[in-house]
Amino acid sequence: MKVLHLGKLCPPNEGGIEVFSFDLLEALNKKGIKADLLCFDNYTKEDIYNDFKYYACKMNIKLNSAPLSYDFVKTFRKIANDYDIIHIHSPNPLAEVLSLFTDKKTIIHWHSDIVKQKIAYQFYKPIQKRVLQKVEKIIVTSPQYLNTSDQLKAYKDKAVNIPLGLNTKRLEIEDENLEEFKKIKNKIDNKKIVLAVGRLVEYKGFEYLVEASRFLKDDIVVLMAGGGPLYDRLQYKINNLNLSNKVLLIGRVNNVSVFMKNSDLFCLSSISRNEAFGLVLVEALYFGKPLVTTNVDGSGMNYVNIHNKTGLVVPPKDPMALAEAINMILSNENLYSRFSKNAKERFKEFEIDSTADRIIKIYKEVLKC
């Protein structure tokens, strides 16, 4: 069986969807599926990464966050007939359009609705409708997202829920990677660490976590790892509220797993369903970290984090609720131990081998083999 995945960024770029898709491609190939990747990059080439082949295509322009590439079109036309199935990681308008010009069985991996580009979407909507009518299956990452997606509501009969997964090998930590964390640890006097990771953008809700830190106990500090357009605004807020001893913006880090392993709790304070899943929560589960997430309608965050089992779920945009949840978990050893144990158990649902097996089953159903 040969499957061509159509994605966005090529290796070694590793955003959330890329981390998952690269792990998936590696797992599929180890299980005997010839799975290759067609993706966008700064130049055109063919290469091997983690045991899978990828075709990098020079991106010519980005239009409303959607990459466009002549080489992507040319390469697809050249190689598509060599595959049994086309597997699209959406949203990816160019890849979706190309799927209309092949008779190959097509599957869409629905990572997110088209959210921000509201005006452009009205023009694209008829094309998306044709694509969704044509595809054999739509893989969604959580039932919560499917049930609240207007763009998928007419196609629920094609949808199957398969959560994202991670390869535990990428989470293994070598001693030489600890130095970056040790420098931070020395600054915070061995306080309990609440870790937050993500791009510093509006929907992540970091400003509410900053405000929540005012109500955290004195032995707790919040580390925010990531870069983005809100860095200066968040730092100003921290300084203005005199919270520099309670919140540290540490920027992008080389190895998030080091910080995850050495933190005490993980918090994802997102405020909209732009947070479609929150793959970083799965990494926190692996390390047995209790979770605090927000109850955003339609987000997969709370598919990963089960309230009062792996952590606590609180209302979005509520700093006091965030603080109370964090204080409760970090001040109650029995509760902390129960959440930590359940987190490790919950991770088993998100191992990449399990995810790959379920996707292979979909492939076989589509090909009737």
Domain ranges of the chain: 2-165+351-367, 170-350
Give residue-wise pLDDT tens across range 202-242: 999 999 999 999 999 999 999 999 999 999 999 999 999 99
Burial of 309 (0-12, 13-18, 19+ CB in 10 A): middle
| 170-350 shares the fold of 2-165+351-367 | yes
d(CA 288, CA 282): 10
Backbone angles phi, psi at 318, to 5 degrees: -130, 90
d(CA 61, CA 198): 25
Report the pLDDT value the prediction gives residue 359, as an integer from 0 to 100.
98
Which of the listed CATH numbers 1.10.3720.10, 3.90.1150.10, 1.10.10.10, 3.40.50.2000 matches domain 170-350? 3.40.50.2000
d(CA 270, CA 289): 18
Kindly list the distances between the CA atom of residue 68 and the CA atoms of 91, 97, 124, in Å, as whole numbers in the listed order. 13, 11, 14
Please, are residues 295 and 302 in contact by the beta-carbon 8 Å criterion?
A: yes
Nearest to 111 by CA among 149, 155, 54: 149
Q: Give the number of other CB atoms < 10 A from CB of residue 348.
A: 10
Give residue-wise pLDDT tens across range 286-296: 999 999 999 99
Report the pLDDT value the prediction gives residue 251, as an integer from 0 to 100.
92
DSSP 322-367: HHHHHHHHHT-HHHHHHHHHHHHHHHGGGBHHHHHHHHHHHHHHHH
The answer as to CATH 3.40.50.2000 being correct for domain 2-165+351-367 is: yes
Give residue-wise pLDDT tens across range 305-334: 999 999 999 999 999 999 999 999 999 999
